[in-house]
Amino acid sequence: MASSLLSLTSKPPSITRLRHQRPPLTTVRVSAATVTTTTGMPDHHHPSLEITGGGADRFLPAFNTIHLPYKPFPIIGWNRHLETIFAAFFRTVPEVKYRRECLRTQDNGTIALDWVYGDHRSLPSDSPILILLPGLTGGSQDSYVKHMLVKAKSKGWRVVVFNSRGCANSPVTTPQLQTASFTADTCHVVDHVSSRYPKASIYAVGWSLGGNILVNYLGREHHRCSLSGAVSLCNPFNLVIADENLRKGFNNIYDRALRGGLSRTFDKHASLFEEMHDEYNVQAGLNPRTVREYDEAITRVSLGYKSVDEYYSNSCSCHVVQHVRIPLLCIQAANDPIAPIEATPYSDIKDNPNCMLIVTPQGGHLGWVAGDDAPFGAPWTDNVVIEFLEHLQKNASKPESS
C-alpha cells in the first residue's frame, strides 16, 4: 500500500475504553447561504460541515472556504474506502527539493528535518514557520505533506518536515522508532527551530498519528510550548478505540498496510534491537500479523510499558485536549475508517476556548477529495488550514495597541 495510508497507529490511571460520544452540543452549521446555530446530533449525510469548540466564534472570521458547502468528488468521495485508497495511490505528488538536517537528541537518537531547499537564502528571518508532522511511517515524501508544503510556501512561509525516528529513510542510532506518546522529540524540534529563527512565529500541522503526537505535545508541554498555533487532521485521539476499529471488517486492509510499513522500517534497523537485553520480540517485529502485534513486540517495550494496552491507553491525545493553551484547529471526517469519529473528544474541545473542531461528512482517511483541486490535486483541507494559520499570523503581527 502507498505510504500515504501508513498514518495510524497526562497519563490516565488505568486503561480506558471510554468512547467520546457526541452529546447534543450546540454546533455551528455552515452552508452556502447562511451560518446558523443548531442544537442536536449532526446529519452526516448532508453536504455541510459540523463546527464546534470553545474557540469557534473566535476563529470563524478566519475562513472563507467553510462558508461553501462541502462537495465530495462524485463517486470517489461517496465511499470512505474508495476515497482513502484513491487519495493514497492517485493523488499527485508535487516536486519539492529538500535540504536535510539531522538533530541528535539527549538519548543519542536522531531526528531528520527536511527544509525546503533555498528558503534559508530567499526568505526573511522573521518569515512564519510551519512544522509538518506526517502520520505513521510517513514522511516528507508523502503527497499530502508536499501539497500542504507547497500551499504554505506560496504564501511566503518557511516550511520544515519533522520526520519521526526511522521515517523517510532517516538514520536510526538508538533502539527506538516512531511512537504515539513520546513528546521529547517534538520538544527538541520546536526548541531547535525557535532558537534558529528567534524572530519568527512558529506553527505546526500534524496528520493522523502525527496529529496525535502534536496534540499530546500541546497538552503535556503546555507550560513550555512556544508554538503560536496548530492544526490536527484525522487524529485517532483515542488509540484504544482506534485499535479496536482497525481490526473490524474491511479495515483489516489498512491494518495490513500499516503493519507492512512498520515491519519494513523495523527490518532496516533490527540489529539495534537484537543487541538489547529488554523484552523486544524481534521476530514478531519483523513479521507482525497486525499493528497491535508489532506494538506489543517493539513499541511498548521501547517506552517501558508492560503491555500494548497500557501503551495505547497512555498515548491517547484525547486525555490532554483540555490542557491546550494555544489556538488549535482539529479537522476530522465523519466517515474516517482509521480515525473513528466516536474517538473525538467533543466535550473537551467544546469546553476549551482555544480549540475548534470541523467535521466533514465525507473525507475518508487523508482523503478529502473535494473542492476545486479534486480529484488528483490537493485535499480540500489545505485551504482551510492555511486560512486558519494566516489568520493567526495576521493577528500576531498586529501592533499591540490594536
Catalytic residues: 208, 336, 365
* Residue 260 CB contacts under 8 Å (≥ 6 apart), including other chains: 1
Q: Are 367 and 395 in contact (CB under 8 A)?
A: no
CB count in 10 Å sphere of residue 181: 20
- 375 upstream amide cis, omega within 30 of 0: yes
Please state, in angstroms and rounded to a whole number, the distance separating the CA atoms of residues 110 and 112. Answer: 7
* Distances 239 to 5, 32, 344 between C-alpha atoms, Å: 17, 35, 11
- Crossing angle of helices 143-154 and 381-396, in 10° steps, is 40
280, 4, 131, 359 alpha-carbon torsion, rounded to 10°: -110
Please state, in angstroms and rounded to a whole number, the distance separating the CA atoms of residues 220 and 49. Answer: 30
Burial 25-60 (b: 16+ CB within 10 A, else e): bebbbbbeeeeeeeeeebeeeebbbbbbbbbbeebb
Backbone angles phi, psi at 210, to 5 degrees: -65, -35
Burial zone of 192 (CB within 10 Å; 0-12 exposed, 13-18 middle, 19+ buried): middle
Residue-wise DSSP of 144-208:
HHHHHHHHHHHTT-EEEEEEPTTGGG----SS----SS--HHHHHHHHHHHHHSTTS-EEEEEET
Q: How is the beta sheet containing 98-104 ordered, strand by strand? A: 35-39, 26-30, 49-52, 355-360, 328-333, 229-233, 202-207, 129-133, 158-163, 110-116, 98-104
